[in-house]
Amino acid sequence: MVNNQEYHVPVMLQDSIDALCIDPDGTYVDVTFGGGGHSRLIFDQLSDKGRLIAFDQDPDARKNAWEAPNFDLVPANFSFISNHLRLLGIKYVDGVLADLGVSSHQFDEDTRGFSIRGEAKLDMRMNQDGELTALEVVNDYSEKELFRIFKSYGEISNTGKLVSVIASERRNGKITTTADLIKVLDKCAPKHREHKYYAQVFQAIRIEVNDELGVLEQFLNQMDAVIKPGGKLVVMSYHSLEDRLVKNYLKRGSISGVVEKDFYGNVLKPFSEVVRKPIMASEEEVERNSRARSAKLRIAERNG
């Protein structure tokens, strides 16, 4: 099995793997398996004593897996990572890698409804077994709920106008496809910034459908119990909402950013940053893969 570049083009691939400082006999977790690019490079550095656990809730990703006695693919998202590891007999791991967001495959697959290009049903589920879809969010959410997600998750400047236009349009009939939604958005998108506006709205709906920030919070709050002292946590995010949570957790020891200190004034936090500022993709990589433009890679080590 080789890295499936057609399924997903990994961003800062080698930087991510180098950050794990892989011990050939260690145990590692890739919580966003996708096309298997990160996982394969990790696995190739492991001995027979080493072990790799990968997570992916998307059934499409499972075709990229391979058979090996020291490799397991868990068909679930990573919100309950510690429970799944316990079921596999694993208490602590040497490193965890998370490449957040949507895979290239999910964006490019016409039927998934993630992309502002083309026309597809309003879906946006990363897990096709999930009950909530973009169709329900756009057509059934109250105006108050829509305002919340567009303001919080899309950081839309004219949220009130956007919600009013959607509410008016859906009274005339359901908004069922991505193309239908784009037509609605055309009525309130700023001139010359239409595509960015579409992307912000789609991002907000996608985050709501998949509870992306809730899943990330649950994941981060389990890392101190999962990673052994000296082990590495490597997280790549693609928008400010994700990065803010990761940054707060690594710098201040809590998702909220509230700092707790001991009697001597030392900040109580489970991880120390290996690099103070996030690593960004090179100009050459951004030219090859536009998705790399917004990526931020943060690396931390578990305190003893």
* Beta pairing partners, 177: 121
- Count H helices and E strands in the chain, helices first: 13, 7
The per-residue b/e assignment along 93-131, b for 16 or more CB within 10 angstroms, e otherwise, is bbbbbbbbbbbbbbeebeebbbbbeeebbbbbbbeeeee
With a CB cutoff of 8 Å and minimum separation 6, the contacts of 188 are 158, 161, 162, 165, 197
pLDDT score, position 41: 96
pLDDT score, position 106: 66
With a CB cutoff of 8 Å and minimum separation 6, the contacts of 87 are none
**The tokens 């784009």 sit on which residue?**
182
Residue 265: both structure tokens together: 């004034």
Domains along the sequence of the chain with CATH: 13-104+213-302 (3.40.50.150), 111-211 (1.10.150.170)
CA 213/CA 202 separation, integer angstroms: 15
Classify residue 246 as exposed, middle or buried by CB count within 10 Å of its CB (0-12, 13-18, 19+).
buried
CA 192/CA 210 separation, integer angstroms: 30
Give which of 175, 157, 158 is closest to 166, Cα–Cα: 175
**The tokens 């201040």 sit on which residue?**
252
Instruction: Tell me the pLDDT of the chain (304 aa) as tens digits.
Output: 444 455 557 899 999 999 999 999 999 999 999 889 999 999 999 999 999 999 998 888 888 999 999 999 999 999 999 999 999 999 999 999 999 977 666 666 767 888 888 789 999 998 888 899 999 999 999 999 999 999 999 999 999 999 999 999 999 999 999 999 999 999 999 998 999 999 999 999 999 999 999 999 999 999 999 999 999 999 999 999 999 999 999 999 999 989 888 888 888 899 999 999 999 999 999 999 888 999 999 999 999 8
Give which of 199, 158, 160 is closest to 181, Cα–Cα: 199
pLDDT score, position 2: 45
3-state secondary structure of 99: strand
3-state secondary structure of 135: helix
pLDDT score, position 139: 98
237, 243 Cβ separation under 8 angstroms: yes
**What element of type H or E holds 52?**
strand 51-55
Classify residue 293 as exposed, middle or buried by CB count within 10 Å of its CB (0-12, 13-18, 19+).
middle
